[in-house]
Structure 1
């Protein structure tokens, strides 16, 4: 019986990661999960700052154990000429480069796309920044929090008349990373189809979030309507809301399909609404949103969250609890779908999230958690670039690695 692991779609693709924190690193986390060899270049010493963010154990954050999975850590001081030369050599052997510095930084180092293409014309060079590589805002500093606002995403989040809210996540970085991974795969496919030439993938955080804005632009262009924050609802779709139950827990109900609405209102004790012709379609329900929402809020307030979900699921009405991570890890569906993977860190088990999507024939997987800073120096600098132990030790003594 063969014990070989299944093939993955990006097997044989080499990625050099110059990024730090989240957008660039999560891009290559996705690529590495699906088979790419990811060589992460970090500064000597503390490495990527995210290694020290949030909950830290034995000098490394739990977050990094997930974000750094399947990556080979190499330390290089890119402020030194020797460090940049070694990075240039590594990038010359890459299929993909991922960087998320401010536009112009890698050019100053002599490591920009045009520099690398001189010896490696097939390289796919992904660049992630706040506002993109061109345009009047290109040079602005652009953390995810700020670009989420510029994108319009924050404008539609929160409650009317109050400051916009943000999820307790750096969602702009993550969404940009998903766009970058998609762009890289498209560029690799195109490279395979034509002469083998690579191209630049230009990903802006604000544009990635802008890509989530659904019908906001055509609604404004065609009707002059500016979609605004609407609390726990979505403007113009009824009913879809979050309701408080008798046990203090929350339930989300999506009853905005015409036939679903009828089943929902019968289950909630309001058959007269189910048969009301003015509420038969969404446009009518929008006009009666207050009475519909009050009826559902009162009904939920008289039942526990689990009772509400059980009643509605029996009637095939979309409804669900608002989960914490603790709830997720106890949930049988999450576990049946393999949403958590167990790795070993310092001799102890640690759960990290699986990465989507699920591929039936060539699934992704975690081979190892994020490793120590520079843990692959000898493998990469020696095995790939041909440096002997003495040369690597000399570079370490100089602070280059």
Structure 2
């Protein structure tokens, strides 16, 4: 079955997380992704987190469906090879600091003149313009500047980070959206490509809901609130008898009524002041105390069974072991069996989103460093003798 991006060629110049995550998603839906890596070392992500036989198992996720070409972009010959690849490509993904590619003669103006149909996704800490453009910016900095870090954690405690590189991943998702929009525009407007400027902090800021409108109207500076959801009640994590936590979202008006009936608090159900969310928010401590007392009298499994029976949204807090054994994950093909380079079995995350007619998939495992260098360079007309010379010089 043809995938929606089949026939689209993507050149990935990114490293670590944001750019490669975006290219990974494009590859999962059929794009031919050629990943350019520095000779000898490769993408630093190959050595991040837990390693198996010297390579990160994260790599098996980040670079599936890609072809690896080693190339020293600091050398003129390496830059010329990139130009040859770009001349035949549809999309370029890069996440260098702004100005880096321009210094190599590979900036947007140069590449657009070379290939007017090219769509160029540029991911950076602060964007390609503005007073901060030249600052180095990793995901954690974007999370802080975008407003997320301030809201994470308990009141009056040190702000905590989300346990994954959420700033990078959000930027990648915005980048993929931008690529798809630009490809659509290209199809409708005579094949003209465009530059896409994605900033880490802006991708995080785009998720901040009513943060700025509340400040502009009321002067309200939203503060961290732990496990609760400020302004929406009841919605919190409640400790059960066995020490585990149930996440309960009883904030719809009819759901709230069912929840109060379940925990045997008809007084709170009948109070007209609590019939709607704005009234419940004013007395959220009273409501939370009632739910907490009920949850504390039961084990987590009992709490969840009772809530599910009454159609009240609730769940437990999953760790990796919970995910790996969960039947719903398996039924939705969100746990894919695969292998590492040496044949070691590994479970990888499934493909998201799920398209009914043209679903994504994994057509090739993550490549070894430079696995496809000869294949790709030969297709560009670079003969074996030239490749051997370059390899001897460490250029590929």
Normalised by the shorter chain, which TM-score bucket?
A: over 0.9
The answer to whether 1:350 aligns with 2:343 is: no
- Find the residue that maps to 1:118 and give its secondary structure: helix
Could you tell me which of 9, 25, 29 is aligned with 1:30?
25
Q: Partner residue of 1:265?
A: 260
Q: Deviations over 1:376-400 (max 9, x none)?
A: 01110112x1112222111101111
- Find the residue that maps to 2:58 and give its secondary structure: helix
Gaps of 5+ in 1: 1-5
Q: Partner residue of 2:238?
A: 243
Q: Deviations over 1:143-164 (max 9, x none)?
A: 1111111111111121111121
Q: C-alpha separation between the residues in 1 aligned to 2:244 and 2:283?
A: 26
Q: Partner residue of 1:11?
A: 6
Could you tell me which of 110, 113, 116 is aligned with 1:118?
113
Q: C-alpha separation between the residues in 2 aligned to 1:261 and 1:189?
A: 44
The answer to whether 1:281 aligns with 2:239 is: no
Q: C-alpha separation between the residues in 2 aligned to 1:46 and 1:276?
A: 66
- Find the residue that maps to 1:89 and give its secondary structure: helix
Q: Partner residue of 2:222?
A: 227
The answer to whether 1:182 aligns with 2:177 is: yes
User: Retained in 2: the 8 A contact 1:343–1:368?
Assistant: no
What RMSD over aligned residues (CA atoms) do the two structures have, in Å? 0.9
> Structure 2 length normalisation: TM-score?
0.98
The answer to whether 1:376 aligns with 2:369 is: no
Q: Partner residue of 2:35?
A: 40
Listed as ranges, the matches of 1:266-345 within 5 Å are 266-345=261-340
Gaps of 5+ in 2: none
Q: Deviations over 1:141-200 (max 9, x none)?
A: 111111111111111121111121111111000000000001000000000000211000
Task: Report the alpha carbon displacement of residue 247 of structure 1 after superposing the two structures with TM.
Answer: 1.1
Q: C-alpha separation between the residues in 2 aligned to 1:224 and 1:293?
A: 27
Q: Partner residue of 1:155?
A: 150
Task: Report the alpha carbon displacement of residue 362 of structure 1 after superposing the two structures with TM.
Answer: 0.3
Task: Report the alpha carbon displacement of residue 317 of structure 1 after superposing the two structures with TM.
Answer: 0.3
Q: Partner residue of 1:173?
A: 168
Q: Give the paired residue count.
A: 395
User: Retained in 1: the 8 A contact 2:171–2:198?
Assistant: yes
Q: C-alpha separation between the residues in 2 aligned to 1:305 and 1:268?
A: 14
Per mean C-alpha deviation after superposition, the further-off stretch among 200-209 and 388-397 is 388-397
- Find the residue that maps to 2:382 and give its secondary structure: coil
Q: C-alpha separation between the residues in 1 aligned to 2:18 and 2:360?
A: 20
The answer to whether 1:386 aligns with 2:377 is: no
Q: Deviations over 1:126-145 (max 9, x none)?
A: 00000000000111111111
- Find the residue that maps to 2:114 and give its secondary structure: coil
Q: C-alpha separation between the residues in 2 aligned to 1:237 and 1:210?
A: 21
Q: Partner residue of 1:359?
A: 355
Task: Report the alpha carbon displacement of residue 100 of structure 1 after superposing the two structures with TM.
Answer: 0.2
User: Retained in 2: the 8 A contact 1:144–1:172?
Assistant: yes
Could you tell me which of 376, 382, 398 is aligned with 2:393?
398
Task: Report the alpha carbon displacement of residue 353 of structure 1 after superposing the two structures with TM.
Answer: 0.4
> Structure 1 length normalisation: TM-score?
0.97
Task: Report the alpha carbon displacement of residue 220 of structure 1 after superposing the two structures with TM.
Answer: 1.4
Q: Partner residue of 1:72?
A: 67
The answer to whether 1:50 aligns with 2:45 is: yes
- Find the residue that maps to 2:176 and give its secondary structure: helix
Q: Partner residue of 1:3?
A: none
Q: Which runs of 4+ in 1 moved over 2 A?
A: none
The answer to whether 1:205 aligns with 2:200 is: yes
